[in-house]
Amino acid sequence: MLNLFSLKQEKKDEAAGGGRTSNKKKASAAQLRITKDINELELPKTCKTEFPDPNDLLNFKVKIFPDEGFYRQGQFSFNFKIGDQYPHEPPKVKCEHKIYHPNIDLEGNVCLNILREDWKPVLTINSIVYGLQYLFLEPNPEDPLNKEAAIELQSNRRLFEQNVQKTMKGGSLNGVYFDRCIRS
């Protein structure tokens, strides 16, 4: 459908600019929404955002520093990629570190219901950050991506905690090398 209002505005812009057409790119719905979400972020003291390219709000990092639970003293970084369909589709979120966690696999994929079947457009980046933070406070062995860690959490919490601490210091467990992610 032809939008007459935008055509009239383009003609006004051309006249004001000496006949030149504007090269300014319009923001997509995803860009507008993510800008709103980021402006309204209310992160707890255990989280912070990082924008490698300040002009690209669709790709950023969230760092989580749990201060309690199995993962206290850890430092975990997540990449957020916002697609063109946001907020109708959830962002892609991946952990940068290889960690021993029931809900994060060894490739960094995250098992969080609001990033899958329970996503709704009313949810925000804030909701996701709080969901990620909660995974570190209360790992969920009922819906695992790392089945070995989940079974261990259910059957022997003490051994699970020892393995979490061991892997957070960096090194191997069951033939898998884990990144050091203890805060200095």
Catalytic residues: 111
Residues with Cβ within 8 Å of 175's Cβ and at least 6 positions away in sequence, in order, are none
* Residues 144/150, Cβ–Cβ less than 8 Å: yes
Residues with Cβ within 8 Å of 160's Cβ and at least 6 positions away in sequence, in order, are 70, 149, 152, 153
Measured from the Cβ of residue 118, the count of other Cβ atoms closer than 10 Å reads 11
Peptide bond into 87 cis (omega under 30): yes
Rounded CA-CA distance 114/116 in Å is 5
- Assign 3-class secondary structure to 71-132: CCCECEEEEEECCCCCCCCCCEEEECCCCCECCECCCCEECCHHHCCCCCCCCCHHHHHHHH
